[in-house]
C-alpha cells in the first residue's frame, strides 16, 4: 500500500499509487493459482519475490500481481486499484473514458491493467530491473488508514480477510 506502480509502454509513462490489494498464498489458499502446484500459467508465482505475474481473467481482462515470498512458495499480491498519478490522458485514451468518469480509470484490477497498458507480455518481468514496469516507494501509509476484509470474486478460501485497502479512498474498487 502506498507504493507507486509505473509502466513505460510504447513511449507512454503511466503510474498510480497502490490503494487496494489482495494476498494469495499457495500452500493453504485454494483461491490461489498456485494452490495445486506449479503450472505453465502459475510458474512465475513460484519465483522469488519481486517478479510480475500477469494473467487473463474471464478471457478478456488482465490482472497484475507482485510475487512476494521465497522461491517455490507460490505467493503473490494482486493489485486491485490505483490512484492515478502520471499519464492520466494516456490512461483515459486506453480506457476510452471521459473526464467525468475519472474515478473509473483504475478502480479495479482489469481497469488498471488496461489503463497502464499491462498485459501478459509483462508477466515474468522483474519489478526492480524492468524498463517496462516498476515499483517504487511513494507514500508512507499509517496502519490506521489500512482496512481489511474478504477478497472479491472468489468462492474458495473465503475465510481469509486478505483484501487490504485505504480507508475512504475514492479509487478503491466497489
pLDDT tens digit sequence for 110-169 = 999 999 999 999 999 999 999 999 999 999 999 999 999 999 989 999 999 999 999 999
- Closest residue by Cα to residue 24 from 36, 12, 16, 15: 36
> What Rg, from alpha-carbon coordinates, does the chain have?
15
A 10 A CB-CB count for 83 gives 23
Q: Which pLDDT belongs to residue 68?
A: 96
Percentage of the chain lying above the pLDDT 70 cut: 99
Q: Which pLDDT belongs to residue 103?
A: 84
Question: What is the C-alpha separation between 9 and 47, in angstroms, rounded?
Answer: 24
Domains in the chain: boundaries? 4-166
Question: What is the C-alpha separation between 104 and 114, in angstroms, rounded?
Answer: 12
- Contact, 82 vs 71, CB < 8 A? no
Q: Which pLDDT belongs to residue 174?
A: 81
Question: What is the C-alpha separation between 121 and 112, in angstroms, rounded?
Answer: 16
Report phi then psi at 92, rounded to 5: -60, -45
Question: What is the C-alpha separation between 59 and 2, in angstroms, rounded?
Answer: 30
Average pLDDT of the chain?
94
pLDDT tens digit sequence for 77-102 = 999 999 999 999 999 999 998 776 78
What 3-state DSSP class applies to 111?
A: helix
Q: Which pLDDT belongs to residue 121?
A: 97
Q: Which pLDDT belongs to residue 152?
A: 92
Question: What is the C-alpha separation between 127 and 125, in angstroms, rounded?
Answer: 6
Question: In CATH, what number does 4-166 get?
Answer: 3.10.300.10
Place of cell 505475474: 53
DSSP string of 29-68? Answer: -TTSTTTT---TTTGGGGSPTTBEEEEEETTTEEEEEEE-
Structure pTM? 0.94
Cell of 93: 485514451
Amino acid at each position: 500500500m502506498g507504493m507507486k506502480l509505473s509502466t513505460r509502454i510504447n513511449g507512454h509513462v503511466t503510474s498510480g499509487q497502490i490503494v487496494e490489494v489482495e494476498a494469495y498464498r499457495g500452500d493453504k489458499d485454494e483461491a490461489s493459482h498456485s494452490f495445486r502446484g506449479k503450472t505453465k500459467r502459475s510458474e512465475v508465482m513460484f519465483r522469488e519475490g519481486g517478479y510480475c505475474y500477469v494473467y487473463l481473467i474471464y478471457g478478456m481482462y488482465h490482472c497484475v500481481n507482485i510475487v512476494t515470498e521465497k522461491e517455490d512458495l507460490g505467493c503473490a499480491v494482486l493489485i486491485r486499484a490505483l490512484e492515478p498519478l502520471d499519464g492520466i490522458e494516456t490512461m483515459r485514451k486506453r480506457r476510452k473514458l471521459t473526464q467525468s468518469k475519472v474515478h473509473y480509470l483504475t478502480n479495479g484490477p482489469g481497469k488498471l491493467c488496461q489503463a497502464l497498458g499491462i498485459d501478459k507480455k509483462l508477466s515474468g518481468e522483474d519489478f526492480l530491473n524492468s524498463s517496462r514496469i516498476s515499483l517504487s516507494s511513494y507514500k508512507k501509509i499509517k496502519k490506521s488508514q489500512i482496512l481489511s476484509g474478504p477478497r472479491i470474486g472468489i468462492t474458495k478460501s473465503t475465510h481469509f480477510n486478505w483484501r487490504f485497502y485505504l480507508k475512504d479512498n475514492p479509487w478503491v474498487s466497489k
